[in-house]
Amino acid sequence: MHEMSLAIGVVEVIESEARKQGFARVERIVLEVGALACVDASALEFGFEAAGKGTKAEGAVLEILTPPGAAYCFACQKSVPISRKGDPCPDCGGYQLVVTGGEELKIKSLEVC
């Protein structure tokens, strides 16, 4: 379950930023986890709750945004939506695609006090 290690990483970033910026705790965190990032959101939520115990993140509300998958099709010469890596272009059926969105995993915002 790599979601636990991701959750630990998020908590480590929060702790590091708390030291730098001097905030007492996080009230809310918004994560952006792309649809193609291969992350189970419920496992990440569970991991975040467990990893956050005793830290500045304990009790924080976790919101996970899921940007859709997107790719550029070289045959169509346009951006197209995709639901999985390796899927064909939904317009032409070709496989000349490069993923352009949906793989992100980042902290979008923190509400602190």
Task: Kindly report the number of other CB atoms within 10 A of residue 17's CB atom.
Answer: 16
Q: How many domains does the chain have?
A: 1
Q: What is the CATH number of the domain that holds 41?
A: 3.30.2320.80
The predicted-structure confidence for 43-99, as pLDDT tens digits, reads as follows 999 999 999 999 999 999 999 999 999 999 999 999 999 999 999 999 999 999 999
Contact between residue 10 and residue 80 where contact means Cβ atoms under 8 Å apart: no
Say how far apart CA 100 and CA 46 lie, in whole Å: 29
Write out the two tokens for 16: 């590091």
pLDDT at residue 53 in the model: 97
DSSP 55: S
Domain hosting 51: range is: 2-112
CA atoms within 13 A on the CB side of 39: 26
Question: Residues for the chain: how many in total?
Answer: 113
